Amino acid sequence: MENKNMSASREKVARVTGSATGIGYETAIHLAKNGFRTYASMRNLLKADQITKVAKSEDLPLHVIQLDVTDDISITKAINTVINESEKIDVLVNNAGYGLIGSIEDMSVEELKAQFETNVFGTFRVTKAVLPHMRRQHGGSIINISSIAGRIALPLYSAYVSTKFAIEGLSESMAYELEPFGIKVAIIEPGAIKTSFRREQAAKGSLEVSPYSSMMQLPSKIVEEMLKHRLDPEEVAKTVIQAIENPKPKLRYIVGKDAEELIELRRKSADEELFWLVGQSILKKEKQVFLQNRGQVAAQE
């Protein structure tokens, strides 16, 4: 393992978005421990205490910078800081994001737009800003943190799932476009991670009287079941390092046994069969309640 004393010409430079906690935090720390001059970025620098403390105590080549992936000025400023100090960017890890939960009917257009602004357009903005530098270098690695939700949908996660489906398509198309310039693209697809749903928030309409109110209790039960075998964010960070250091990385890296099992289920099942399986395991009770209530209303009429 090389350390920060390697010559500047050999030292690789990495940027990680959403580094305050979870996957972004662990990825930034692991990159620094593996000899990368690492810029850990986050929207709110008041959340930088822990990562700064670790970097100082372990004498890591890690720097914390402010970056809001929804703000073009913030992105430009952050990238200029990296280029002015390190003259290049070898690795970009797009991790910033959050999860919105709620039915489509309860969700506002503004809430859906905000979800896409961070999860999708944030990735787009930062990547677009970094690419000219990587092309001039004739190489680089772009790692996009997706999710098992980028391959399989769950009820009431339509906003979050759709952003992850978008990241999958964006990344796959980018891989074709950037390959001639020596720029590698990889998608990381974690299953249940200990911090996966920490930033989950409910659509405002779901907090009011809604025909989906009882169904809103289901996602927490789903998450609880998935989290029984959850992995530490460190496992995702290790996979990111693996993808970066592989001269011919795979396009997709699945992280977690639960994710592997769900992907295999998706691969083997027709759409109708998968819909039935998800419905049976998740919505069966809710469907029974709905049919019972509908019957009662019909009887009253």
Distance CA 247, CA 7 (A): 21
User: Beta-strand (E) ranges in the chain?
Assistant: 13-16, 37-42, 62-66, 91-94, 100-101, 140-145, 183-190, 201-202, 252-255
Tally DSSP H helices, then E strands, for the chain.
11, 9
* Angle between the N-to-C axes of helices 22-33 and 233-245, in degrees from 0 to 180, rounded to the nearest 10: 50
| Beta-strand pair 201-202/100-101 | parallel
CB 168 within 8 A of CB 146: yes
Q: Could you say which of 160, 176, 212, 253 is catalytic? A: 160
Two tokens at 241? 């390092």
Which of 226, 34, 25, 209 minimizes the C-alpha distance to 13? 34
Distance CA 178, CA 108 (A): 36
Residue 2 makes CB contacts below 8 A (sequence gap 6+) with 10, 34, 35
Q: Give yes or no: 25 in active site.
A: no
Residue written as tokens 């930088």?
48
CB 8 within 8 A of CB 32: no
CB 73 within 8 A of CB 48: no
Which of 179, 248, 240 minimizes the C-alpha distance to 38? 240
Residues classed as catalytic:
160
